[in-house]
A and B are shown apart, each in its own frame.
Chain A
Amino acid sequence: DTAVSQTPKYLVTQMGNDKSIKCEQNLGHDTMYWYKQDSKKFLKIMFSYNNKELIINETVPNRFSPKSPDKAHLNLHINSLELGDSAVYFCASSQVMTSEAFFGQGTRLTVV
């Protein structure tokens, strides 16, 4: 039973399109995150939600919009995709804001 699951695993799309990535966790955690891993493997926080409330919104273009319908779900919608958005996006969750995070399998987004 997957703890943190993301869909899709791979996403290839053209510039200018709008796409969404979905994330669900069945761990009962309070906090969920979106991280971006670039081509050099560097991981950077994008958003953090605690109990459906946005906690962190790092310097991310407003084309990226997270939505948390409930504690177990955190989706990421991206408008007007650009080549530079190509990366692996990881969803993660943790019990409270100060504990270890468990990561989903990642979504490899390729914008062509």
Chain B
Amino acid sequence: ELKVEQNPLFLSMQEGKNYTIYCNYSTTSDRLYWYRQDPGKSLESLFVLLSNGAVKQEGRLMASLDTKARLSTLHITAAVHDLSATYFCAVDTSNSGYALNFGKGTSLLVTP
């Protein structure tokens, strides 16, 4: 059974600080996805990482993928309040019919 583990599950950080969210998964996959969810809202696609060593950046967020370590990171630089949300990583594999297997999510709160 594919397992996707995120940590931390809860993160409170001050504006201006940096932090990294980690996503580990238990089986071979070359595709990893990061989504953002605001309270009561849908899931918004942030990054699609399709190969080993992939790195993508959008604003204060940067995601990377190491398929050999089965690890992805989401790095937050100089956090601002608008980044407060829940962040999910997800992996798809042929064994799961390519449906997304999600981590439990990281609830991020950025405070002044």
| A residues neighboring B (CB under 8 Å) | 31, 33, 35, 40-45, 48, 55-56, 90, 92, 97-106
Contacts and interface: CB of A to CB of B under 8 A. Distances in A.
A45 B93 CA distance: 13
Contacts of B70: none
A90 B102 contact: no
Given A56-B99, A90-B42, A100-B45, 7 more contacts: A41-B37, A43-B90, A43-B105, A48-B99, A55-B98, A101-B33, A103-B44
Contacts of B44: 103
16 contacts: A40-B104, A41-B104, A41-B107, A42-B104, A42-B105, A43-B43, A43-B90, A43-B105, A44-B102, A48-B99, A55-B97, A97-B92, A98-B31, A100-B33, A100-B48, A105-B41
Interface of B: 31, 33, 35, 37, 41-45, 48, 86, 88, 90, 92, 96-102, 104-105, 107
A91 to B, nearest CB: 10
Contact of A106 (B42, B92, B97, B105): B42
Given A41-B86, A43-B88, A98 B98 contact: yes
